[in-house]
Amino acid sequence: MSAYARLEQRFARIATLNEAAAMLGWDAAAMMPPGGAAARGEQLAVLAGLSHELLTSPAMADDLAGTTPPGDPWQDRNLELMREAHQRATALPGELVEATSRANSRCETLWRGARETADFPAVRDALTQVFALAREAAGILGEVLGLSPYDALMAQYQRGVGSADVTPIFERYESFLQVSLPQAEALRRRRAHEALPPGPYPEAIQEGLCQRLSAVAGLDYHHARLDRSAHPFCGGTPQDVRITTRYDEDDPLSAITGVLHETGHALYERGLPGGYARQPVGEAAGMAVHESQSLIIEMQALRTDAYLGYLAPLMHATFGKPVTQGQLAQRLRHVRRSCIRVEADEMTYPAHVILRFRLEQALLSGDLAVGDLPGAWNDGMRRLLGVTPRDDAQGCLQDIHWYDGAIGYFPSYTLGAMAAAQLMAAARRALPELDRTLAQGDFSPLNGWLGTQIHAQGARLGFNELLMAATGERLNPAAFEAHLTERYLKFDF
C-alpha cells in the first residue's frame, strides 16, 4: 500500500471518530436528559483526544513526509489539506485539546440554564475559561501558521479569509446600513399593514408542514431527521443529516424559515462528493460557504413572490387560517430593529454579526474582560441599531457559539449572506425558469445548479475561488447591497 493510500485510511478513521462526536453532539442538543451532560462532556473529550492522537501520530508524520503529490488535482488538494490539518494538530498539545473540549461542554451546559434565567454571572467564570483556553490555542496556532491569533481561529471555520479581509467589508456595510435602514423603515411605514391571522398554530401541525416543505425543497428523509432543540442547527453526517428547529404557536414562520435554512445546510452536506467521503477534500469548503447554501434557500428563494405564492395556499389549507401571499411578504420582507440575531431581517442581520466580530476579537485579545461583556454588548447594540436588550438573555446570552467555544465563526454568517446574493444573481442568469419552478415549491433547478457549482466541489476550491468559478468574480458586497435595495427600497404602493 502506498503512503498516500495509508493516509487516506488514517483520515477516514479520524473522520469516522468525528462523525461519532457529531452524533453525540446532536443528541446532547436534541435528546439527552440534563443529567447526562457531565458524562457526555467526557465522551466528547475522549473522542477529541483520540482524533488528535491519530492525527499527530509518528506514523501519520512519516507518511506525510514520504508522500509526493499523486498528480490528480483532487488527490493533490486532499494531500494539501491533510498536511494543513496535521500542522494545526501537531501545534496543539493533546492536554490542551481535551481541556478545551471539557471546558466547552461544561460552559455550554451552564449556558442553557443561564439563558433561561438571564443570569450571565452563572456562566461568566466558565466562559472566562473558554476564552482563556482559546487564547492559548490561538497564540500557538497563529505562530505556527503565520497568522494573527484571531485569524488562526477564523481559519478553522473558513480558510483563506481573515480579519483584514472582513473589516473593510463590514465597515462598508455599516455605512450602507446607516443610509438604507431609515429609508426602508420610512417606506414600510407608508404601506398598509397586513398581519398573519392570529394563532394558535399547533406545534405538531407546524412540524408536519416543516418536514413537508423541506422534503419538497429536496431533503431526502431516508438520510435525514427533523427534531427540536433550543437553538436550530444542522448536524450529523452526510449520510445521516440531523436538522433541528424550535416552534412558536403564535408564529409558524419562525420554524418554517428555520427549517428551510437548515435544509440548505443539509442539502450541501448531502451533495458533497461521495467519492471523497471521509477525506478532507470531500468536506464542505468552509462555514461561509455553508452559510451561503442555507441563506440562498431561506433568504433568497423562500422570500420571493414566486415561492410565497406557493406557500400561502399551503399554509391556508394546513392550518385552516386565511393566510395570504401579501401577509407572508410583509412578515418575511420587513425591516425592524431587533435585539435578537436569529429573528433579525436580512438588512439588519449583518449589524448583529459586526457586533460579535468586534467583541470576540476584544475578548480574545484580553482588551475586553468577560465580566464586562454584557455592558459592552449593550453599548454596541445601541451604536449599531439604536436598541438596548431588556436583559442578558436578549443580549450576550442569546447565542450558543462562544459558550461552545466557536470563536471566529460569526463572520461566516454575513460573508455567506453576501455570497448567497452573488450566487443567486448568477443562478438567475443560468436558470431563466427559476421563478416558475419556485412557484411550484420546486427547488430542483436551483439545487442542481448549486450541486454542480458548489456542493460537488467539496473543499477542492476555497471560498473566493468557488465564487469566481460560479459567478465570475470574488466576493463582491455590491451584489448583496443591490439585492437589499431591490427588495426593501423599491416598493409598489
Chain segment 442-460, per-residue pLDDT in tens: 999 999 999 999 999 999 9
pLDDT of residue 492: 53
Supply 330's cell numbers. Answer: 410583509
- Site of grid cell 401541525: 205
Active site residues: 262
Which pairing describes strands 234-237 and 240-245: parallel, antiparallel, or unpaired?
Answer: antiparallel
How far are the Cα atoms of 258, 268, 286, 367, 435 from residue 282, in angstroms, in the given order?
26, 12, 12, 38, 31
Is residue 41 situated within a structural domain? yes
For the chain, the average pLDDT equals 95
Q: How many domains in the chain?
A: 1
Cβ neighbours, 10 Å, residue 413 = 22
Q: What is the pLDDT of residues 316-348, one digit of tens each?
A: 999 999 999 999 999 999 899 999 998 899 999
Class of residue 389 by CB neighbours under 10 A (exposed 0-12, middle 13-18, buried 19+): buried
- Give the number of C-alpha atoms closer than 13 A to the C-alpha of residue 12, restricted to the C-beta side: 10
Domain ranges, residue 152: 3-157
Segment 79-90 shows an average pLDDT of 95
Q: Are the CB atoms for 434 and 445 separated by under 8 Å?
A: yes
Beta partners for residue 235, in sequence order? 242
Nearest in space to 323 (alpha carbons), one of 488, 209, 204 = 209
Supply 425's cell numbers. Answer: 444573481
pLDDT of residue 192: 79
* Those residues with Cβ within 8 angstroms of residue 456's Cβ, 6 or more apart along the chain or in another chain: 271, 272, 273
Segment 424-441 shows an average pLDDT of 96
Q: Are the CB atoms for 336 and 345 separated by under 8 Å?
A: yes
Segment 56-62 shows an average pLDDT of 96
Beta partners for residue 225, in sequence order? 242
Is residue 480 situated within a structural domain? no
Can you give the chain as a three-state secondary structure string? CCHHHHHHHHHHHHHHHHHHHHHHHHHHHHCCCHHHHHHHHHHHHHHHHHHHHHHCCHHHHHHHHHCCCCCCHHHHHHHHHHHHHHHHHHHCCHHHHHHHHHHHHHHHHHHHHHHHHCCCHHHHHHHHHHHHHHHHHHHHHHHHHCCCHHHHHHHHHCCCCCHHHHHHHHHHHHHHHHHHHHHHHHHHHCCCCCCCCCCCCCHHHHHHHHHHHHHHCCCCCCCEEEEECCCCCEEEECCEEEEEECCCCCCHHHHHHHHHHHHHHHHHHHHCCHHHCCCHHHCCCCHHHHHHHHHHHHHHHCCCHHHHHHHHHHHHHHHCCCCCHHHHHHHHCCCCCCCCHHHCCCCCHHHHHHHHHHHHHHHHHCCCCHHHHHHHHHHHHHHHHCCCCCCCCCCCCCCCCHHHCCCCCCHHHHHHHHHHHHHHHHHHHHCCCHHHHHCCCCCHHHHHHHHHHCHHHCCCCCHHHHHHHHHCCCCCHHHHHHHHHHHHCCCCC
pLDDT of residue 491: 60
Longest Cα pair distance anywhere in the chain, in angstroms?
A: 71
Nearest in space to 120 (alpha carbons), one of 392, 490, 322 = 392
Q: What is the pLDDT of residues 370-384, one digit of tens each?
A: 999 999 999 999 999
* CA 105 remoteness from chain centre: 19
Q: What is the pLDDT of residues 242-276, one digit of tens each?
A: 999 999 999 999 999 999 999 999 999 999 999 99
- 15 φ/ψ angles, rounded to the nearest 5 degrees: -60, -35
Is residue 229 situated within a structural domain? no
Q: Are the CB atoms for 424 and 431 separated by under 8 Å?
A: no
pLDDT surpassing 70 at residue 13: yes
Is residue 333 situated within a structural domain? no
pLDDT surpassing 70 at residue 135: yes
Class of residue 314 by CB neighbours under 10 A (exposed 0-12, middle 13-18, buried 19+): middle
Segment 198-205 shows an average pLDDT of 97
Q: What is the pLDDT of residues 171-198, one digit of tens each?
A: 999 999 999 999 999 998 888 788 999 9
How far are the Cα atoms of 87, 166, 399 from residue 374, in angstroms, in the given order?
36, 24, 13
Q: Are the CB atoms for 29 and 230 separated by under 8 Å?
A: yes
Q: Are the CB atoms for 342 and 407 separated by under 8 Å?
A: no
Is residue 109 situated within a structural domain? yes
Q: Are the CB atoms for 392 and 120 separated by under 8 Å?
A: yes
Q: Is the peptide bond before 200 cis (omega within 30 degrees of 0)?
A: yes
Q: What is the pLDDT of residues 452-490, one digit of tens each?
A: 999 999 999 999 999 999 999 999 999 999 999 999 998
pLDDT of residue 373: 98
What's the CA angle centered on 355, arms 353 and 359, to 5 degrees? 115
pLDDT of residue 493: 41
pLDDT surpassing 70 at residue 301: yes
Is residue 50 situated within a structural domain? yes
pTM: 0.92
Is residue 258 situated within a structural domain? no
Is residue 433 situated within a structural domain? no
The span from the CA of 46 to the CA of 98, in Å, is: 7
pLDDT of residue 279: 98
pLDDT surpassing 60 at residue 149: yes
